[in-house]
Structure 1
């Protein structure tokens, strides 16, 4: 049974799809060596009331296989297996493993795609850490979207995926109408969009003879933060392993046609091509690991306006398809260095402070005088973006690996000793604005107005909460100034 400290840690860790699996597991790891008998393994399961045991190499601690209660029923009871036989004879090999520092969201997507109920978590050296089960990840797409998930996984052509992308948006519209919380909405939308994008990439990859090297499809911006709304274009790139600049150039030419085909397919599914060309099909963003590090280093060392703009997009990176360790290593490299560039961080803070509050001095609404959409407020530019930008600064300064804005704010608040109610106020304010954006996008008809809202058309309570939410931006920016003022 887990000891009291493990149980307390599990209760103390608030569940979030963005939390690290390392902090999510709720029991001590159950392991046996490959020579242990089936009987010994069953006794261990019974004693601990576990539902799975991982078989590990007794010297290296590398996981070799897994045995679950379902396996016991089928392979031991039904097939009358020998209880004295070594567990290696009945275990399931070919394990699906994920790094222990992966997020619950990543594990959920892997489980759904692979049709498994357990994932083995490993350390950086490949040794066993623990196991996570589907019951631990209870934010998997819910019952009403189960058929949609099944259909996405079964899709084998682009027209089917295009149709399913429309069904995803329709589902979100229904959830918005039911006033489901913003974090649940964004998580559901991100989970389904991830599954759809993975299917698109896999479908397109089968049409190309790709180089036999490690590579990973990267996502940035709102997709990297798991904060996609219904009005979002593509922000993606590709990272691959190369031994030299010359080899990188050759590999890039091989990947670009594939990347363009993926970008076009995603466009057909309702994710418009990026007007700023931040896509994997742009040679500038189809780079080797060394080239990505060089680009990031250049922005840190020379924080000019273009570098700050790029960092606000690319520094929210997440690996989606392929060798995710390439993305994790790149993010780790960035976090290990960014905090050592105070000039860059202060430039980001100054950029974040360049915000015009939609509230006037007596706390009424002030509009941005857009002649095409008068009497409206841009909820992205003047609402959610200040929270996103501030959270990114804190993540870089304090080496927080999370990409999600809520998690960044929560972890930064814990590290800095911010009162729980103050941190909760910031998070609630951000999520209220996100929900209003989604509501507007569901009912809006034009891209240009997808993030705009007329406060007079809001429910009285929503209007009041929006005012209070926008006030929180001011409080957050005052803290930024205090925390990053030159010493």
Structure 2
């Protein structure tokens, strides 16, 4: 007699890893032995430090929150949705639960016997490889000697997976996705989704993607009564869709999801909405990389209720950075991921602060990041540099308006300080009335800096011309950007003053090719890698970008744009970009090792290879400074 329940369970499991790696017969054996469990909202499944169950679990319906207690507080670590596994690691490691699990809403979960799964691990290497990479351990290298023989019961050793850093690989997406037209009724589209056991349907016209409808759209827009089930799909679909070409890497997909806050990416022939749809890349496709990854961290950020929780999450981001650096992952990718996390933390700090104040802002405003965060290069816990611009108001309203934003900025900078971003020693923060201004006040200030470039104003320009939009009304940010480029085009001699300051920064090496180290003070005999090596490259990229109206702030991106604009000088710009990557990676590694900002390096503790590697970065610095000297007639600047 046919086992209908087991068949239904099999149909569910086959779409989720690692069960999608198993043949149907093996999967049916699992389905027949699964325990179905129902939990009401907030009901505990297991608690932190409990003995492990005989089952691990997969969410069939609803959502399960994972939590951890620490310092007398309860932290939400993750929310598991449909198809997510949890409770596996303690069974593999034969240890108590490191976190608790409870139903976030009414939920049904499947319990899978670990004893049954042990045999599957032995017989199906692809499953064991998946579990090693995804669930077995939170350590950086699960294949290290100290873990051999401990990851799985009855397994003495498992060889390392080739190229196990999945983020650099081409993402596997679902080909030939299910589609419908914009005029299809929501009811019919939902039936198609149910029949095909999918949680989304792509809306197309002439096979070009124009939108997407997901389970979430049906829950939040139909289930709440905002729309009728007989309405067309176009009424509730998300549009436009985010598209990528067929060779998208997991890294690119991760960044796109972080940036656009979407769960699905459409894959087209050329990566735009103007060519044929060939696939769909869903959140579950990317969730094969488990543990301490950007998505789990950003989920936690959204749920954070206070600055202490944000601090805990940022600590996890530092561990993520260390893992990337240790694996020698391209620094450009690392900066993008960590910058998105830093941005998410700042946004959450702003929202929490507005909630504390109890009233929304009186006019539109924009929170700006400056310095390394503005350039999306803040990998370490350095001090904060930020500013705030608000919409122009009548003179009689200016004082009261500024009072609100100074209160908001004070609360935000305080929270960022708790997170670990120290207050700026020079007080270049939005909580300082000097840097909390209206659009007109900012424009006037920029104009004054450029027209009357005294030493203080040049220093401010170096810091503030890397401002980047973080939160609020982006139109205000755009106005400021246009104003800066407009003023500089009218007075390009100002770039000569900036160049002079950059060139006056002493070269990294002395006459006898020795490192120029600090002569006295707390860091005596140490090399200042930030000021002597990284800063000249950053400053030069900024100056050339201002010359060519390049809106990008990131140093690597600036040099790449300059290579396109000035192909005759592409060798110089490329060498600068490569040197900057090496220096930034070196500084980050030093900072993580020494638990500081990585600014100073003890040359005597470096290997000969590392010293040579650093010295190889100094020739591009000399070359780009020579270019600045000639291009902007620095010798003529008083």
TM-score by length of 1: 0.75
1:458 maps to 2:616: no
* Counterpart contact for 1:221–1:314, Cα < 8 Å: yes
- Alpha-carbon distance in structure 1 between the residues aligned to 2:523 and 2:305: 42
Cα offset, 1:178, TM superposition: 2.8
SS at match of 1:433: helix
Equivalent positions of 1:44-443 (< 5 A) are: 45=204, 47-48=206-207, 50=208, 52-53=209-210, 66-68=211-213, 88-89=234-235, 91-92=237-238, 108-112=257-261, 115-117=262-264, 144-145=292-293, 146-208=295-357, 209-443=359-593
* Counterpart contact for 2:264–2:280, Cα < 8 Å: yes
- Alpha-carbon distance in structure 1 between the residues aligned to 2:282 and 2:547: 31
Classify 1:414/1:362 alpha carbon distance in 2 versus 1 (closer, same or farther; 3 Å). Answer: farther
Classify 1:431/1:43 alpha carbon distance in 2 versus 1 (closer, same or farther; 3 Å). Answer: closer
SS at match of 1:321: strand
Cα offset, 1:336, TM superposition: 2.5
SS at match of 1:239: strand
Classify 1:70/1:265 alpha carbon distance in 2 versus 1 (closer, same or farther; 3 Å). Answer: closer
- Alpha-carbon distance in structure 2 between the residues aligned to 1:316 and 1:33: 45
SS at match of 2:367: strand
- Alpha-carbon distance in structure 2 between the residues aligned to 1:73 and 1:250: 44
SS at match of 2:430: coil
1:483 maps to 2:620: no
Classify 1:267/1:71 alpha carbon distance in 2 versus 1 (closer, same or farther; 3 Å). Answer: closer
Unaligned runs of 5+ in 1: 1-31, 54-65, 98-102, 120-128
SS at match of 1:273: coil
Cα offset, 1:117, TM superposition: 3.6
Cα offset, 1:421, TM superposition: 4.1
SS at match of 2:470: strand
Classify 1:139/1:222 alpha carbon distance in 2 versus 1 (closer, same or farther; 3 Å). Answer: farther
The CA RMSD over aligned residues, in Å, is 3.9
Cα offset, 1:256, TM superposition: 1.2
Higher strand share: 2
SS at match of 1:361: coil
Higher helix share: 1
Number of residue pairs aligned between Structure 1 and Structure 2: 417
Classify 1:200/1:428 alpha carbon distance in 2 versus 1 (closer, same or farther; 3 Å). Answer: same
Describe the superposition over 1:152-207 as per-residue Cα deviations: whole angstroms up to 9, x where unpaired. Answer: 22212222112212222222233333333322332222121111111111111111
* Counterpart contact for 2:213–2:233, Cα < 8 Å: no
Classify 1:323/1:90 alpha carbon distance in 2 versus 1 (closer, same or farther; 3 Å). Answer: closer
- Alpha-carbon distance in structure 1 between the residues aligned to 2:373 and 2:583: 17
TM-score by length of 2: 0.58
Partner of 1:122: none
* Max Rg structure: 2
Cα offset, 1:387, TM superposition: 0.6
Cα offset, 1:81, TM superposition: 7.4
- Alpha-carbon distance in structure 2 between the residues aligned to 1:389 and 1:165: 28
- Higher relative contact order, chain-length normalized (CA < 8 Å, sep 6+): 1
Describe the superposition over 1:195-252 as per-residue Cα deviations: whole angstroms up to 9, x where unpaired. Answer: 1111111111111113331111111111100011314111111111123333222200
* Counterpart contact for 2:533–2:583, Cα < 8 Å: yes
Cα offset, 1:67, TM superposition: 3.8
